[in-house]
Amino acid sequence: MKLAVNIDHIATLRQARAAREPEPVLAALLAEQAGASGIVCHLRGDRRHIQERDLLLLRKVITTRLNLEMATTEEMLKVAKEVKPDVVSLVPESPEEVTTQGGLEVISQKEHLTSYIRELKKAGITVSIFVDAHKNQIKACQKAGADLIEINTGKYADARTEKERQAYLTEVRQAAVFARSLGLEVHAGHGLDYHNVQPIVEIEEISELSIGFAIIARAVLAGLTQAVREMLELLQK
């Protein structure tokens, strides 16, 4: 199972102070050195974390696969054609949400998506759609011309009971099997962490997971002891 690391929240931390640190590009290089197969970032319409400058620098330095998550707007199509990430992941986006809420509604906007995806592919970009674990939506992804799908694991991750969790896990597994039978490459992500990732890893049809928040949150605490010690050393008279 491959891991693509989403570095949005390194930029969230930087933007909280409108500062220069922490540097998302450096985070991406460290993630690659640690073995990540790809780097993911989401350029949002409101630019709350990743900025164009980050994207341009990432494009220059990433040696694995740069995956740009974006809404299906004209503005983002222009950005993608200029930056040429290896993969574009189409996601729904609304300004009020804290994080992406659910997969893209593909069926009702199939015509728009078909021409949008054609434009991206003409620019040599592999196109992924972030989609809920529903057969009809997945079929529509294939018809619209997507190369791969990323199955939304958000409901699985947020499940409140074991029974609910197992039901969502089954949905994800069946969706993965169905998507592979259509010839789509299958990724998954959203809300995965150190406690809930293992059953998803066991789904053979899924080849890559996209994980952000849990890794960045753990990195902050894992590094805190060293950071405090380094500051204390500077404080010695």
Q: How far is the CB of 151 from ligand PXP (least distance, A)?
A: 10
Answer whether 160's CB lies under 8 Å from 174's CB.
no
For 127, phi and psi rounded to 5 degrees? -115, 130
Q: How far is the CB of 156 from ligand PXP (least distance, A)?
A: 12
Q: Which is nearer to ligand PXP, 154 or 225 (CB)?
A: 154
Q: Which residues bind ligand PXP (CB under 6 A)?
A: 6, 8, 42, 69, 89, 91, 99-100, 130, 150, 189-192, 210-214
**C-alpha distance from residue 183 to each of 139, 151, 158, 229 (Å):** 11, 15, 29, 52
**Out of 9, 134, 187, 190, which one is annotated catalytic?**
190
SS3 of residue 171 by DSSP: helix
190 included as an active-site residue: yes
Q: Cβ-closest residue to ligand PXP? A: 212
Q: Which is nearer to ligand PXP, 52 or 230 (CB)?
A: 52
Rounded to the nearest 10 degrees, the angle between the axes of helix 213-222 and helix 8-16 is 60
**Out of 9, 42, 49, 134, which one is annotated catalytic?**
42
Q: Which is nearer to ligand PXP, 14 or 42 (CB)?
A: 42
Q: How many CB atoms lie within 10 A of CB 23?
A: 16
Q: How far is the CB of 85 from ligand PXP (least distance, A)?
A: 14
- Print burial letters for 97-112: b (CB count within 10 Å at least 16), e (below 16): eeebeebbebeeeeee
Report, as residue numbers or ranges, the catalytic residues.
Answer: 42, 69, 190
